[in-house]
Amino acid sequence: MISSLWRPAVLSAICISFLLQCGAKVPDRKGMFAVIHTDKGDLVAELFPEAAPKTVENFVKLSKDGFYDGIIFHRVIPQFMAQTGDPEGTGRGGPGYKFEDEISATALGLDKMKAGEARYYDRQIQAAAFEKLGITSQAELDRRKQEVMREIQKISDMSVEEVLELAGYSYQNNLPSIPGNKGALGMANSGPNTNGSQFFINQVDTPHLNGLHTFFGQLEPDGFEILDKIIEAGNGNSKINSIEIVDKR
């Protein structure tokens, strides 16, 4: 039995321990939330299973299994994002499997946006032109420069969705996808349908990533100060202690 003389101190210690683990406040509203406990503080993010069901399911499972415990933020870029989720800490590791993107081009307006006007997809436009014309060397590009320019102009008049489909992306236009705004959680990848465990958190809006990455969550405003600290610390100098999933749906 706990003595009445020191019971308050014990209870206080327990409360302090609990607050250290769960110090971030989960919003008082319905939804599914992830509390990402880091060595810089807690990040609370709402997860959107309706927008990216398989992605959220994967993230929740890995979190509950302790996969993310101790993993560093291996890649941080000021005025861009913080990336984590690689057990190797090199940017090349993952869970041992890959799964498909969950992106709606129509929800993001990519079906109506001309690729050439967006100015974010020049690399995909050029790659599509080279592929169509069979350009495989700099010498051939120099020789057929005018032809390539005409093809690039034609492809630029296509929608972003059409151009990205030429690059190998496919879309699930029944999903209510969210854009890559400030605070969005997105899956890191190495091309179409190469999702695993790595994810990033946007420090700023990233419209140039729409259609290329699955976004599945949104950081709560109180977490931006912690995110800034993680990014200010530099590559590999912050880590995830654990991730807690709170389902209030």
Classify 12 as helix, strand or coil: helix
pTM above 0.75, yes or no: yes
The radius of gyration of the chain from alpha carbons, rounded to an integer in Å, stands at 22
**Angstrom distance (rounded) from CA 36 to CA 222:** 13
Note the pLDDT of residue 4. Answer: 42
For the chain, which residues score pLDDT lower than 50?
A: 1-22
Note the pLDDT of residue 23. Answer: 55
Note the pLDDT of residue 10. Answer: 41
Domains, the chain, ranges and CATH?
7-107+171-247 (2.40.100.10), 115-166 (no CATH)
